[in-house]
Amino acid sequence: MEQSGRHELDPLRGSLLRLAAVAALVFLLPLAGAAAAGKPLAAYLRFPPKTPDIPHAPFSPPVFLGLALLILAATAPLLTRFFSYRKAHGPRSQAGPFPWWGWAGAALCAASWVLAWGRLPWMGALQAHTFTPLWVAFILLANAVTFRRTGRCLLLSRPRRFLILFPVSAAFWWSFEYLNRFVGNWRYVGGPEFGALEYFLFATLPFATVLPAVLSIRELILSFPAFHGAFGGWRTLSPTNPRGIGLAALLLSCAGLFAVGIVPDLVFPMVWVAPPLLLISLAALRGEPHSLSGIAGGDWRTF
């Protein structure tokens, strides 16, 4: 029993170590880049944060067209595969009744939308706080529809994992908010001014809903048999040197995060690409499974 428990803790310990390593790299590398460029670091560490006024390049039709073609080229094979396989049969689970908490989620969603878009005077003070109930309602509805379709859902079948997703999601999105201090890609307008503690609390609540919402809608999408038929057994993509590719991805991600502190307007996509790429590359270097592992066996559903 003791040995079995140790084996169960090893993957968890490895995951926590990877998360800690990624968090350290995400925090330190952009700061190192800004320091190397001679920029004052205090602006990146202030709290509540202030979105920097970074001069961005104007809209460029050639760049837009090039990026659009790149996205189309990357997604076209997936879309073609799905629509050509829409009549395929996949695994079907026994459906369940629509749960009562799904109806509660629908009611919460309706009330939150009315509150968010209403123009009655008493609604004004509450409208800045409607993001969280809207997304909680969405999470409940996504899980309820999944349960109705398959008889199981993330909320009920893996409740501990589901609950852990909320604090992990909050930390996950705070990392992007931190990186936004360097690139200035988005800002929040129209809200009240908050002190440090209020800002942290009111921001952490909606940030905590990101990953539960993403994984809930992923599970709902995978409840459709067409996705299993299309992507459950597709082309295999098994590199001959996964650790070498992992090392290259790790170095690219680190270089990109370092460059974010120097030339943010040129390398801002690394804000979104580098953190997940770091997690994948570190797992690949250790020979551990990651979100792209299934592709080696032709399973593209996790992708």
**What does the pLDDT read at residue 1?**
44
**What does the pLDDT read at residue 204?**
94
Helices 270-285 and 2-36: crossing angle in degrees, nearest 10, is 140
Residue 239 in any domain: the answer is yes
Q: Predicted confidence band at 28 (pLDDT cuts at 50, 70, 90)? A: very high
Residue 200 in any domain: the answer is yes
Distance CA 212, CA 219 (A): 11
Residue 10 in any domain: the answer is no
Domain that holds residue 201: 17-46+95-297
**What does the pLDDT read at residue 11?**
60
Q: How many domains are there within the chain?
A: 1
Residue 8 in any domain: the answer is no
Q: Predicted confidence band at 249 (pLDDT cuts at 50, 70, 90)? A: very high
Residue 235 in any domain: the answer is yes
Residue 271 in any domain: the answer is yes
How large a percentage of the chain has pLDDT more than 70?
A: 90
Longest dimension (CA), the chain: 64
**What does the pLDDT read at residue 6?**
47
The least confident of 105-109, 178-182, 287-291 is 287-291
Token pair recorded at residue 130: 């409607």
Task: Quick: pLDDT tens for 211-237.
Answer: 999 999 999 988 888 887 788 778 887
Rounded to 10 degrees, the C-alpha dihedral 237/238/243/247 comes to: -20
Please provide the size of the chain in residues: 303
Residue 83 in any domain: the answer is no
**What does the pLDDT read at residue 263?**
92
Distance CA 173, CA 180 (A): 11
- Higher pLDDT: 9 or 245? It is 245
**What does the pLDDT read at residue 91?**
52
pTM of the model: 0.83
Residue 88 in any domain: the answer is no
